[in-house]
Structure 1
């Protein structure tokens, strides 16, 4: 379920940034992870919508993907302020070299990975994703996985998001962070 390039505890209080394809559960898992760690949760897409005063779909439609990615980069840079929190990013955020470099340098990236077929089943329920409008989700997600997975793989922690309860994914992330799972207090990074 998880691949962790580190064997010792890896989390030292920096922001935890969830990356991966759309539909993998970054927002849902992120909220639950933040609650388990008693940290603030921030959804970068929600922050982008608040800053722009419009939905991501509207931003894409009116201004295009390049404009959206620039705004996304600026919002994520603002969110990664050195304080402990969990941040869910949009599926394309980590593909942007400047955003990816910032995340890898100043936060701890966790790649939530899932089979594109599983993701296609999850995203078919909503028509809010600009890259899927009028297209077959399975085909789009398979193509996106081929293009984006090599970038996501640069994250130091890889966790597989399967057809299991979100709590299983949260537990895998906590374990990969080197934190206790059994309700013990989380070590304070300032005291390490």
Structure 2
């Protein structure tokens, strides 16, 4: 089955994208920084959103996202993913398992079985297929960890998401303080 044709032909009924609820003010300005990327300034928000969401593409991705859990569940059930305990896996698979487990813990009770199945499948492939493992190691060792650190803008837009990222509580306090200062300035200007 050619999923790209399905994505192009399937036009889901219009619905709000997850960001639409927070983008209630509408897009005020879009900026293309010299070093790359896109910053979207949304009316009513003090911080830019990194990226520009195209509603049509988001809707197409939603179709694919609905197929992923079915595929993962099928793969999980067709493979014996519990061949041996994770502590006996190679260090690469153990590290991927550790990070995915942290991610699952950050989701709290909202984590679904598909996420954990995906973790176990990735670890299974990394352990038992060295062609994948060595390519994975070579590619991921090139990553710059600083590019993954959440900026204050990332934290701002991630706040409504139902997961507990590192520093969320502290950042929530900072946002409340900023809002308090902003309201005080507005009162002074009246």
Give the TM bin, normalised by the shorter chain: under 0.3
Q: Larger radius of gyration, structure 1 or 2?
A: 2
Structure with greater helix percent: 2
Structure with greater strand percent: 1
TM-score normalised per structure 2: 0.25
Q: Which has the higher contact order (CA 8 A, sep 6+)?
A: 1
